[in-house]
């Protein structure tokens, strides 16, 4: 269980970084890059949900 908690913490940190990066890409009107980062964010959130079960 401990390793799952550590993985969730790391993935949460990664999610925050991806979210910040997506916001920057959108503010720079790099919408294609923002869309790819959005996909990455969804993957990280899905993985967190899987580990949280």
Given this model, what pLDDT does residue 37 score? Answer: 98
Query: Domain residue spans in the chain?
Result: 1-52
Instruction: Look at residue 1 and tell me whether its pLDDT is greater than 90.
Output: no
Contacts 24+ apart (CB under 8 A), 8-13: 8/48, 8/51, 8/52, 11/44, 11/47, 11/48, 11/51, 12/48
Cα–Cα distance for residue pair 44/53, rounded to 1 Å: 15
pLDDT of 13-43, one tens digit each? 999 999 999 999 999 999 999 999 999 999 9
Q: How would residue 12 be classed by pLDDT, with cut points 50, 70 and 90?
A: very high
Instruction: Look at residue 44 and tell me whether its pLDDT is greater than 90.
Output: yes
- pTM, whole model, 2 decimals? 0.85
Given this model, what pLDDT does residue 2 score? Answer: 80
């Amino acid at each position: 269980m401990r390793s799952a908690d550590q993985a969730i913490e790391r993935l949460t940190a990664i999610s925050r970084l991806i979210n910040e990066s997506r916001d920057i890409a959108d503010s720079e009107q790099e919408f294609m890059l923002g869309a790819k980062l959005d996909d990455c964010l969804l993957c990280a959130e899905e993985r967190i949900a899987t580990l949280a079960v």
